[in-house]
Amino acid sequence: MKLDDAPVPNPVVVLREESDDWAILFNPDTSAAVGTNPVGVEIWKQADGTRSLRDIAATVARRFSNVPEGASGEVLSFADELARDGFFGVAEGAEG
């Protein structure tokens, strides 16, 4: 994925917020599961097909004191991982 891409969550994916610091994204079609922390949960919740990864990274940096402003690389690699496992698609023609 690229920073200007606006990821679209696969609607079949289930977000299980298991505790304050732990969640699982589960794709029942493939059995794939990704464990994640509250930052990953925020990225997942922000992704609605209209927000670009650049915008999402900025929001995450604002909301989490432990995420530095230049963390877009980490957001990108998390989004890549989710796209690879079928959790994310990309909105056609999204401007970001």
Partner 1 sequence: MSDGEKGGSAHGMRVIRTPRYVDVEITAACNQRCSYCYFFDNPEVPYHDLPLGEWLSFFEELGRCGVMRVTLQGGEPFMRGDLREVISGVVENRMRFAVLSNGTLIDDSMAAFIARTNRCDQVQVSVDGPCARIHDATRGRGSFDAAIAGLKRLQSHSIPVGVRVTISRHNVGHLEETARFLLEDLGLARFGTNSAGYIGTCRRHADELLLDPALHAEAMQALVRIAGRYPGRVLANAGPLADALTWRKMLDAAGCGAGTFDDGGRLTGCGCHFTTCAVRADGVIIPCVLLAHMEMGRINKDSLEAVWNNSPVLAELRSRSSIELKDFEYCRACLYSPYCTGSCPAMAYTQSRRVNAPSPDGCLRRFLDSGGRPEDIP
Q: How far is CA 9 from the centre of its chain?
A: 8
Closest to partner 1 by CB, 22 vs 49, is 22
Tell me whether residue 6 or residue 56 sits nearer to partner 1 (CB atom): 56
Q: Which residue among 54, 81, 91, 96 contacts partner 1 (CB under 8 A)?
A: 81
Distance (Å, rounded) from C-alpha 89 to C-alpha 59?
A: 20
Query: CA 16 → CA 13, 26, 27, 61, 80, distances in Å?
Result: 10, 8, 11, 23, 20
Number of residues counted as binding partner 1 (CB under 8 A): 26
Task: Give the footprint of partner 1 on this chain (CB under 8 A).
Answer: 12-19, 22, 24, 26, 28-29, 31, 33-37, 39-40, 43, 74-75, 78, 81
